[in-house]
Amino acid sequence: MIDSQSAQRRRVAFAAAITIVAVPVAFLFSARDEGDVASTLITVAVEQPTTTRSSEDPLGQPGLAQFDRSVTTPPSGGAVIAVPDSNSAFRGTASFDYSIEANDVCFARGAELGMFVTIVNLDNSRSTTCIAALALDENAADIIMHPNRFAAIGDPTDAPITVEYRW
């Protein structure tokens, strides 16, 4: 009786030997000779465009930027810078109150009633204007306004915020 495992091993070894020899031989006989391959070179003629840049650009031929510069002299008196009156510009905190019914009225510490007060958020430079028409106690923030007016200059969740106000 023949051992089945040894017979199986012989079959696998024989198949591997044939594969190791047959595969390289197949590649050798199927390889083409490089000299037999005919190559063809195709030439394509391309026409150059007949338009010119000056006819394409309705503004004309652009010049070089470094040669077209002109120098202007500043005015002899200097620039005029608007500086607010230091007596009317204050820095403080601003908040809002839901009890304020009118959107355009506010409380501004130090401002007379009826004055237009401009409030600038120092964090984002947004501004709004309201009328100083309320009188509140001393423990309140420097500016108290309607919630919608406050939302125009800052996020209500950040209240109180640092502002500059003037009238």
Q: Tens digits of per-residue pLDDT, 103-154?
A: 889 888 888 888 888 999 888 888 899 988 877 777 778 889 999 999 999 8
Half-sphere exposure of 16 (CA within 13 A, CB side): 6
Q: Which CATH code for domain 89-166?
A: 2.40.40.10
Q: What does the pLDDT read at residue 24? A: 84
Q: Is the pLDDT of residue 38 over 70?
A: no
Distance CA 104, CA 32 (A): 92
The residues spanned by each domain of the chain are: 1-31, 89-166
Average pLDDT, the chain: 77
Q: What does the pLDDT read at residue 58? A: 63
Q: Residue 55's pLDDT band (boundaries 50, 70, 90)?
A: low
For residue 46 the two structure tokens come to 């391309």
Chain segment 19-32, per-residue pLDDT in tens: 898 888 888 877 66
Q: What does the pLDDT read at residue 158? A: 83
Quick check: bond before 156 cis, omega within 30? Answer: no
Q: Are 126 and 155 contacting, i.e. CB atoms less than 8 angstroms apart?
A: no
Q: Is the pLDDT of residue 2 over 60?
A: no
Q: Which of 61-70, 83-92, 152-161 has the lowest mean pLDDT?
A: 61-70
Q: What does the pLDDT read at residue 34? A: 55
For residue 56 the two structure tokens come to 């394409």
Q: Residue 85's pLDDT band (boundaries 50, 70, 90)?
A: low
Q: Which residue has the higher pLDDT, 150 or 48?
A: 150
